[in-house]
Amino acid sequence: MDTLNTELVAIAQDYLNTHIPITRHLGVQVVTFTGHSIEVAAPLAPNINHQGTGFGGSLASVAMLAGWTLLHLKIKAENITCRLVIQKSVMDFTAPVTADFKAQCVLPDSEEWGQFREVLTRKGKARIVLQTRVMNGETVAGKHTGTFVAVMNKQ
């Protein structure tokens, strides 16, 4: 990971901890950002349910945060000033989480990203769908689909 990405990871972690306080309680840590993908991690202990496995709400929240943070960093890296929110969130749980876990998200291909950017700059608002995997070790424990909306800030 290059210096810019290392700095963006630190900026993102600080932003999450300051502006989205639940991230501190969930123990969310931004691990890597490649410019095209992100990995965030969370410990099982503060996210455990009555069965001793990962609480579904925590898993969905960490997955959603991975997608949101990836977009936040990518937009910041491209010097775009906008608000970013989630419009739709769907989570499929495929296996129990029994240990500390990760959420991994990858941006769509460059053509889809370019269309998103073009619509955002032309219309001032754009939507993009991101897929995130929640990993329990090497096992995919969940899949999140999030529709995110970016709205340009008024000058």
Residue 33 lies in a domain: yes
pLDDT higher than 50, residue 43: yes
pLDDT for 118: 96
pLDDT higher than 50, residue 35: yes
Residue 118 lies in a domain: no
pLDDT higher than 70, residue 49: yes
pLDDT for 4: 61
| DSSP assignment letter at 13 | H
Residue 154 lies in a domain: no
Number of domains in the chain: 1
Q: Within 13 Å and on the Cβ side, how many CA atoms surround 72? A: 23
pLDDT higher than 70, residue 146: yes
Q: How far apart are CA 8 and CA 103, in angstroms?
A: 18
Give the CATH number of the domain where residue 64 resides.
Answer: 3.10.129.10
| Whole-number percent of the chain with pLDDT over 70 | 97
Query: What contacts 118, CB < 8 A, 6 or more positions away?
Result: none
pLDDT higher than 80, residue 89: yes
pLDDT for 153: 87
Residue 102 lies in a domain: yes
Residue 44 lies in a domain: yes
Residue 68 lies in a domain: yes
pLDDT higher than 70, residue 1: no
Domain that holds residue 97: 3-81+93-109+131-146
